[in-house]
Chain A
Amino acid sequence: MTQQIELSGVNKYYGAYHALRDIDLSIRKGAFVALVGPSGCGKSTLLRSLAGLESISSGDLIIAGEKMNGVPPRKRDLAMVFQSYALYPHMTVEQNLTYSLRIRGVKKAEAKKAADEVAATTGLSILLHRYPRELSGGQRQRVAMSRAIIRNPKAFLFDEPLSNLDAALRVHMRKEIRMLHDRLGATSVYVTHDQVEAMTMADHVVVMRSGLIEQQGAPLDLYDRPVNRFVAGFIGSPAMNFVPAKVGADGETLVVDLGGPQTIRMARPLQPGLNVIVGLRPEHLLPAEAGRALLHLPVASVENTGAATHVTTATTPELTLVLNGRIPLSPADSVPITFDAAHLHLFDAKTEMRLVPA
C-alpha cells in the first residue's frame, strides 16, 4: 500500500506554546482518516499544516512521495473544505467551482464542462448561476465539496465541514461524504470534534489531546481497547463510566467504591492492592435476573427514549446506564446490574494508562 501522506516527528510551536508534539502519522492512498479530539487539541493545526496554511517547526511532511515542508499551499495540490465553507461571495457557484481551474490556466470551455460534470453528480446543476448568499446551508456545503472535487487533488482535507448543519442533515451528509470518498477513490483527512462522526465515517481514527496523538487505529479497536482513560472517555456515546477501585488481596477481585464498597470479579488477575480506575461502558451494563446481580445500584433519574431507558444512578461517582427496551424504574428504586467481566476496562489510577493487555 502506498502512503499518500506521511508525517514523522512533526512539531509546531507558536512562540513558547507547543501546539503539535512529535506527530507520527501515515495515511495510505484511499484512506479516510479522522482527526478527533476536544477543542484546542491541535487537530485543526495539524490539518492546516498539511494544507500549508501553517508551517511546521520541525519534522518531515511528505505528500505523495515529495517532501513538502516549506512548500506554499498552491503547490501542494490538496483541496480543503472549510468549516464556514469559505465560498467566494462575489462569484457565482460556477465561478466558485472553476476558480482553481482558471488560476491554472484551464480553458474556459473546459472549465465549464468540468463544472457541469461535477455539478451533475452533486445535484447543483440548477444552481450554477446563483451566488452563495442565495443558497441554503446544505447547498453551500455541497458547493464547498464540489469545489474540492473538481480539482481531483492528491488528498481532501475537511475542517469540521458538517458542524454548521442541523442534526438531520449532518447525518445525511456523513453518509454522502463517505460515499463520495469511496466513489472517487480519494484520500481524505477529516477533522471533527464529534467522535460519532469520526467513528462512523473513518477507516482510521486519530485521537488527539494537547497537541499529542493519544491513540490511532481502526474505530472499533479504539472502542474496544482504548490505551488510556482519556481515549476511553472520549470514544463512545454516552461516555464510559469511571469508578475508582482497589484490587483485592487475592488479586482476582476488585473492591469498587460507589459510595459504599462492592466487590466484583475480574477476568484476569492483577497485582493485589493496586489502585485502579474501572471503566464500564453504559451499553455493557445489563439488567440482571434475580440473584445474579453483580452490582446493586440506586436510581437517581430515568429518561425513556422509547427504544432504550437511560438511567443515572445515585452513586458517587454517578453512573449512566443504557438499558434496552422500556424498564419500569423510578427514582429511589435499586436496579440489579450484571456485566461480562471481559468488558471491564482497567486503568492505573496514577498514570491512567490501560492495565490489562486485552
Chain B
Amino acid sequence: MSETTRNRLMLAIALVLAAIYLFPLYWMYITTLKSGSAMFATPPSFWPSDPQWSTYAYVWESRNLARYMGNSLIIAVGAVTVITLLGTGCAYVLARYRNGWVDVGLFLILMLQVLPASLMITPIFVGFSQIGLLDYPRLAVIIAIAAKAMPFFVVLVRATFMSVPMELEEAALVDGNSRVGAFFHIVLPLARNGILVSAILIFMQAFGEFVYSKSIIQAVEYQPASVGLNSFMGPNTNEWNNIMAFATIYVTPILAVFVLLQRRIVSGLTSGALK
C-alpha cells in the first residue's frame, strides 16, 4: 500500500468516526427545524423540507429563555472571576515554592478533583443551609462550582507559571522592581495565555454545570439553562423540536467560542507561554 493510499484511508476513517461522533449534534440542529409530523415520520428525513424557524422565537418567549441564559451567564462569570482571582495567586505560590507542605497541598488539591460532584453535593448542601447561604442560591452555586473547578485551574496555571523562568523575576528585582511589581510586570504578562485558556475552559464547564444548580437552586427565577432544559423534559414529552431548540440556543454560543478559540486553547494547553 503506498503512502498516499494509506493517508487517504486514514482520512476516510477519521471522517467516518467524526460523523458518528457529531451525529447527535446534527440531529439536534435538524430536529429544531422540523414540524411536529416531520419529527415522527418514518423513515426520518435528514434534511427538513419545510424549515420551521419560528420554533426558536416560540421557545425563547414561552420558556423565558432570556432569564435562564442570564442566570447561566451570571453563574459562569461569577465562578470564573472567583477562580481566576484566587486560583492565580494559589498557582503562583505552588509553582515558586518547593517544600513538603507544598507537596501536601498539591496532593490535597488533586484529591479534590477526584471527588465527583454528585458525592460532594450532599455535604455542601447541608453546610450551606447551616450558614444560610441557600438564601442566595446563585452565590451558593458560584462558590460550589468554584470549589469544584479550582483544582483544575490551579494545576493548569501552575504549569504555566513554572514555564516562566525564575531568572526573569530575579532580573526584574535587580532592575529595581519589587516582588509584587515583578509579578505583575513580568510573570503575569508571560502567563497570560495559560490563564486565559484555563479561564475559558472553566467558563465552559461552569456554563453547563447541572448537579449543583439543580440541587441548590429551588426558585425557578434563579435557575440556569441547564436546569431549565432538564425541567422542560418530562416523562410524556413529545415536543422534541422545542426542546432541541432550547438546547441549540444554549450550546451554540459555547460551541462558537470553542471553534473560534480552539487553536489558541490547544496551543495554550500543550506549550508554555514562552517560545
Q: Cα distance A53–B166 when bound, in Å?
A: 11
Instruction: Determine the residue in chain A with the shortest Cβ distance to B178.
Output: A74
Determine whether the beta carbon of A86 is less than 8 Å from that of B177: no
Determine whether the beta carbon of A53 is less than 8 Å from that of B174: yes
Q: Cα distance A80–B176 when bound, in Å?
A: 11
Q: Does A52 contact B (CB under 8 A)?
A: yes
Q: Chain A 42-82 against B: per-residue CB contact (8 Å), 1 yes, 0 no?
A: 00000000011100000000000000000011101011101
Instruction: Determine the residue in chain A with the shortest Cβ distance to B186.
Output: A88
Determine whether the beta carbon of A53 is less than 8 Å from that of B173: yes
Determine whether the beta carbon of B170 is less than 8 Å from that of A89: no
Determine whether the beta carbon of B190 is less than 8 Å from that of A82: no
Determine whether the beta carbon of B174 is less than 8 Å from that of A80: yes
Q: Cα distance A147–B175 when bound, in Å?
A: 9
Q: Does A263 contact B (CB under 8 A)?
A: no
Determine whether the beta carbon of B165 is less than 8 Å from that of A84: yes
Instruction: Determine the residue in chain A with the shortest Cβ distance to B189.
Output: A90
Residues from chain A with a CB closer than 8 A to the CB of B165 are 84, 86
B151-169, CB < 8 A from A: 165, 167-168
Instruction: Determine the residue in chain A with the shortest Cβ distance to B173.
Output: A73
Q: Cα distance A89–B185 when bound, in Å?
A: 12
Determine whether the beta carbon of A82 is less than 8 Å from that of B173: no
Determine whether the beta carbon of A73 is less than 8 Å from that of B274: no
Residues from chain B with a CB closer than 8 A to the CB of A100 are 175-176
Kindly identify which residue among B175, B178, B189 contacts A99, using a CB–CB cutoff of 8 Å.
Answer: B175
Q: How large is the interface on B (under 10, 10 to 19, 20 to 34, 35 or more residues)?
A: 10 to 19
A195-249, CB < 8 A from B: none
Determine whether the beta carbon of A72 is less than 8 Å from that of B173: yes
Residues from chain A with a CB closer than 8 A to the CB of B173 are 52-53, 72-74
A85-99, CB < 8 A from B: 86, 88-90, 99
Determine whether the beta carbon of A103 is less than 8 Å from that of B174: no
Determine whether the beta carbon of A86 is less than 8 Å from that of B168: yes
Residues from chain B with a CB closer than 8 A to the CB of A73 are 170, 173-174
Determine whether the beta carbon of B176 is less than 8 Å from that of A104: yes
Q: Tell me the interface secondary structure of chain B in the complex.
A: helix
Residues from chain B with a CB closer than 8 A to the CB of A90 are 189-190
Determine whether the beta carbon of A103 is less than 8 Å from that of B170: no
Q: Cα distance A349–B21 when bound, in Å?
A: 78
Determine whether the beta carbon of B175 is less than 8 Å from that of A53: no
Q: A86-B165, A89-B190 are in contact. Are A74 and B171 (CB under 8 A)?
A: no
Q: A88-B186, A89-B274, A90-B189 are in contact. Are A103 and B176 (CB under 8 A)?
A: yes
- Distance of A152 from chain B, by nearest CB (Å): 13
Q: Does B181 contact A (CB under 8 A)?
A: yes
Instruction: Determine the residue in chain B with the shortest Cβ distance to A75.
Output: B176
Kindly identify which residue among A52, A72, A80, A104 contacts B171, using a CB–CB cutoff of 8 Å.
Answer: A80
Determine whether the beta carbon of B170 is less than 8 Å from that of A86: yes
Q: Chain A 107-141 against B: per-residue CB contact (8 Å), 1 yes, 0 no?
A: 00000000000000000000000000100000000
Q: Chain A 150-163 against B: per-residue CB contact (8 Å), 1 yes, 0 no?
A: 01000001000000
Residues from chain A with a CB closer than 8 A to the CB of B167 are 82-84, 86
Q: Cα distance A90–B177 when bound, in Å?
A: 17
Instruction: Determine the residue in chain A with the shortest Cβ distance to B192.
Output: A90
Determine whether the beta carbon of A74 is less than 8 Å from that of B189: no
Residues from chain A with a CB closer than 8 A to the CB of B178 are 72, 74
Q: Cα distance A103–B186 when bound, in Å?
A: 12
Instruction: Determine the residue in chain B with the shortest Cβ distance to A76.
Output: B174
- Distance of A164 from chain B, by nearest CB (Å): 12
Q: Give the interface centre of B175, B186, B190, B274 by most chain A CB atoms within 10 Å.
A: B175
Q: Cα distance A151–B274 when bound, in Å?
A: 27
Kindly identify which residue among B170, B174, B186, B190 contacts A79, using a CB–CB cutoff of 8 Å.
Answer: B174
Residues from chain A with a CB closer than 8 A to the CB of B174 are 51-53, 73-74, 76, 78-80, 157
Residues from chain B with a CB closer than 8 A to the CB of A86 are 165, 167-168, 170-171
Instruction: Determine the residue in chain B with the shortest Cβ distance to A79.
Output: B174
Q: Does B98 contact A (CB under 8 A)?
A: no
Q: Does B6 contact A (CB under 8 A)?
A: no
Q: A82-B171, A84-B165, A88-B168 are in contact. Are A103 and B177 (CB under 8 A)?
A: yes
Q: Does B263 contact A (CB under 8 A)?
A: no
Q: Does B275 contact A (CB under 8 A)?
A: yes
Q: Cα distance A336–B174 when bound, in Å?
A: 57
- Distance of B261 from chain A, by nearest CB (Å): 20
Q: Cα distance A219–B36 when bound, in Å?
A: 95
- Distance of A187 from chain B, by nearest CB (Å): 15
Instruction: Determine the residue in chain A with the shortest Cβ distance to B181.
Output: A103
Residues from chain B with a CB closer than 8 A to the CB of A89 are 168, 190, 274-275
Q: Cα distance A90–B168 when bound, in Å?
A: 11
- Distance of B236 from chain A, by nearest CB (Å): 59
Residues of A bordering B, CB below 8 Å = 51-53, 72-74, 76, 78-80, 82-84, 86, 88-90, 99-100, 103-104, 133, 147, 151, 157
Residues of B bordering A, CB below 8 Å = 165, 167-168, 170-178, 181, 186, 189-190, 274-275
- Can you give 14 A-B contacts (C-beta < 8 A)? A53-B174, A72-B173, A74-B176, A78-B174, A83-B167, A86-B165, A88-B186, A89-B168, A90-B189, A100-B176, A103-B175, A103-B177, A104-B176, A133-B275
